[in-house]
Amino acid sequence: MSNKAIFLDRDDTLIEDPGYINDPDQVVLLDGAAKALIELRNMGYKLIVVSNQAAVAHGIVTEKLLGQIHDRLNQLLAEKNAPLDRIYYCPYHPEGAVQKYRKESNSRKPNPGMLLTAADEMDIDLARSWVIGNSGSDVQAGQRAGCKTILITHPSHYKHSESAHAEPDYKAINITEAVNIVKKYHRSPHNAPTTVDSTPQSTTQSEPPTLPQNIEHAPAPEPASTEQIASDDREHLLNSILEQLKTMQRTDMFDEFSVMRLMAGVVQIVALFCLVATIWFLMRPNANDNSVFIALGFAVVLQVMSLTFYMMQGRK
């Protein structure tokens, strides 16, 4: 029986993307990436990276250095018991600075070449496989290969491209939610693999069917009233607001646990307690200025500490 696989983009899907990575020490795993891969492997998927690497064509890195970068990625994942099965990359770009790599290639996403090669070399059933990435080119490559697709749409990870109009099967805030989507798909009773219809469509326009003579035509609908249009607009606005709130909730739900955030919350509570103590000291008949200033000073210091922890969390 053929294998099934998860095809993963590399930058901003598994690792941080500071721009073109040109040093193995720049490889930093995204939060939750290793855990996600472990869960996917436990579901029986092969784990395959498929990545456009135009940096080679632009002369920023050599293929040898790129190999060292990928060795570092494999090392970091292996240390967390989440090794990859294989990494495919496309070094070509039609506007590359290096003549050897300046060309169009079927391997460059949104073309499906890397996925098709992996399917041939690793006996992958593409209809049972998924593509997870943060750009429209990932989605299109998956669709052209016949895979199901998940687009990561986190604001800091989503990558606009000329293929951004591609509509994925699912959207996720990060790879953690993407794994949950795959799990939910497996639990669904309607999870039969979908197939890609490759039958060419005729360009000849068919004539509309002729209605039997004994069928009466339905009366034309009356135009919608102004009140109906306004009601529809309000409903559309409310649905848009609800969708935005759901997205915000998903972002919070699938963010990784943060010690900094926990500490900031604890310090914030203590600062609030100090403010309450300050008010209590002020309301006492024999109020002591020293006690008031001490409590207020602690509240200010703790509040600054809380803000500092939140800033450190934001920079993580």
Tokens 């002369």 map to which residue?
59
Report whether 54 contacts 96 (CB < 8 A): yes
Query: Are 46 and 152 contained in the same domain?
Result: yes
Same domain, 8 and 96: yes
Q: How many domains does the chain have?
A: 2
Give catalytic residues, as residue numbers. 9, 11
196 φ/ψ angles, rounded to the nearest 5 degrees: -90, 125
Mean pLDDT in each 10-residue stretch from start to end of the chain (316 residues)?
A: 93 92 95 96 97 96 97 97 97 96 96 97 97 96 97 67 70 95 87 42 38 40 48 55 55 55 79 78 71 77 77 58
Kindly report the CATH number assigned to the domain that includes residue 54. 3.40.50.1000
Q: Is residue 206 part of a domain?
A: no
Q: Identify the pLDDT of residue 24.
A: 96
Residue pLDDT, tens place only, 36-67: 999 999 999 999 999 999 999 999 999 999 99
Q: Looking at 187, 218, 237, which one is the last position of a domain? A: 187
CB atoms within 10 A of CB 102: 14
Q: Is residue 219 domain-resident?
A: no
Residues 183 and 281 in one domain: no
Predicted local distance difference test score (pLDDT) of residue 295 = 73
180 and 273 inside one domain:
no
Whether residue 271 lies inside any domain: the answer is yes
Looking at the domain assignment, is residue 242 inside a domain? no
pTM of this prediction exceeds 0.85: no
Integer Cα distance of 249 and 224 in angstroms: 36
Q: Are residues 272 and 181 in the same domain?
A: no
Domain boundaries, position 270: 259-315
The reply to whether 280 and 136 lie within a common domain is no
What is residue 97's predicted lDDT score, i.e. its pLDDT?
A: 95
CB 37 within 8 Å of CB 77: yes
Of the residues 130, 163, 187, the one at which a domain ends: 187
Task: Please write the tens of the pLDDT for every residue from 198-237.
Answer: 333 333 343 443 433 333 444 444 444 444 544 555 555 5
- Nearest CA to 122 out of 50, 196, 48 is that of 48
Contact 302, 270 (CB under 8 A): yes
Residues 47 and 178 in one domain: yes
Look at residues 170, 187, 204 and tell me which one is the last residue of a structural domain: 187
Count the neighbouring beta carbons within 10 Å of the beta carbon of residue 280: 13
